[in-house]
Amino acid sequence: MSDWLEPQFLDHLLGVSAFSAPSALYLGLSTASGGGFGDDGTGTESSLARQSISFSAPSNTSISSSAAAAIEFPRITGSAETIYGWGVFDAATAGNLLYYGDFPASTNLSTGDSFTVPAGSVSIGVSGTLQPYAFKAWSDHCLRNTSWTMPSVLYLALDRTGSSVGPASASFSTLGGSFDEPRWHDWSTGTVTHSSSGTADQQNAKRRAGVINGSGETYGGYQRCRLVYGAASNGSASLDYSVTRDDGLWYNDQSRNSNWDSTNNRRQNWGKTELRKWTDRVEFPIAGNSYPTVGAFSQPPYGSGVGYGTLASWSTTVGGNVVTSTYSPSSGAHYGTITGWGIFDAETPQTGNLLMRGTFASNIDATAHKDVVRIPASSFTATAA
């Protein structure tokens, strides 16, 4: 991308300001060696007039000029030139450079020579954290004038894919691959009582995070956090702030306490859904007490929170009351080993479009009692190239 396009792309992708796609594109030729037009678009342009260029539909990883016809440039009428590179512009003259690149080899043109770019030979690819959905949507928008509405909100999710503990079973086809999120729960719904009243599933929510509504693996654990970016500059965009939906904790072995904990900037032990804005980090609060495996239990012979089993019944003590359950999980998934992250355009887990994803340098082990995952805001600075 050119220096001009990089902030346009980032601002559109990150929901800061929408990019107005050009109505027509033009291919120009560069006579500058060692980089052609360059990031700033100042490379010397050929005397040959720019020609119209169109692009075919993108794949998951690249987009190429139309395969229907070659792009023919007129004959040189002036001095001889050597063509090194190409650039895609949004105007027949002047305008803005969008993308640029070098040809595989330079071409010497004498007076009277013409120049032809073979059909389908101008190709732009993707690398880094940008995902197929976002690449295709942006390429269609920028290079084919196909509308892509700027994402209105962004949410960061944690990923367990690649964890060696427990199965990574969640997958939805729109991602072009799997993304396995730790399950979440909205405490404001009132479906969990954490007391001796209510159903066994409600009473045991702290241990059976995936069974709060009594069927299958619903949500319990970490929920997506909203991200808000500032305007891009010099090819990068920094996280302005993040929003955590639950700024309290819920310790089942302690009394509820709504007093403010100034050290950790949260209520001491409340758990009600509230919004908390962070400028220095993204924070994922644990939604409960100690449950190393979702829909599972940590007792012999299955080890301490490293597996899952099929016992027909089990019991535990909650608030001094012994509660027995007959729930038998058909599967369990370890939610505490976090391997990576993803940025989505929707808040609800397992929905929306995955825009970017990456892995952490080392796994985050969030299996200990009352763990909270905090990641520095600087970790989510977005760059374009």
Which residues, 6+ apart, have CB-to-CB distance to 360 below 8 Å? 338, 339, 340, 341
Mean pLDDT by 10 residues, the chain (385 residues): 97 98 97 91 95 96 96 95 97 97 95 96 93 95 97 90 43 49 43 44 36 32 84 97 71 68 70 75 63 33 31 41 37 56 85 90 68 87 94
Q: Could you give the CA distance from residue 374 to residue 212 in angstroms, rounded to a whole number?
A: 25
Q: Could you give the CA distance from residue 329 to residue 167 in angstroms, rounded to a whole number?
A: 13
The answer to whether 382 and 356 are in contact (CB under 8 A) is yes
- pLDDT given at position 381: 96
Secondary structure of residue 69 in the 3-state scheme = coil
Q: Could you give the CA distance from residue 186 to residue 213 in angstroms, rounded to a whole number?
A: 12
The answer to whether 377 and 281 are in contact (CB under 8 A) is yes
The answer to whether 118 and 124 are in contact (CB under 8 A) is no
Secondary structure of residue 305 in the 3-state scheme = coil
- pLDDT given at position 246: 60
- pLDDT given at position 286: 56
- pLDDT given at position 345: 94
- pLDDT given at position 220: 41
- pLDDT given at position 316: 43
Within the chain, residue ranges assigned H as helices are 5-13, 132-144, 200-203
Contacts 24+ apart (CB under 8 A), 314-323: 316/204, 316/207, 318/194, 318/195, 318/196, 318/203, 318/204, 318/206, 318/252, 319/194, 319/195, 319/196, 319/252, 320/196, 321/196, 321/203, 323/196, 323/200, 323/203, 323/204
Q: Could you give the CA distance from residue 115 to residue 343 in angstroms, rounded to a whole number?
A: 43
Q: Identify the CA nearest to 252 among candidates 310, 188, 184, 320.
A: 320
The answer to whether 150 and 134 are in contact (CB under 8 A) is no
- pLDDT given at position 258: 74
CA 65 to chain centre: 28
- pLDDT given at position 265: 64
Q: What is the residue whose two structure tokens read 């905090």?
A: 374
Secondary structure of residue 365 in the 3-state scheme = strand
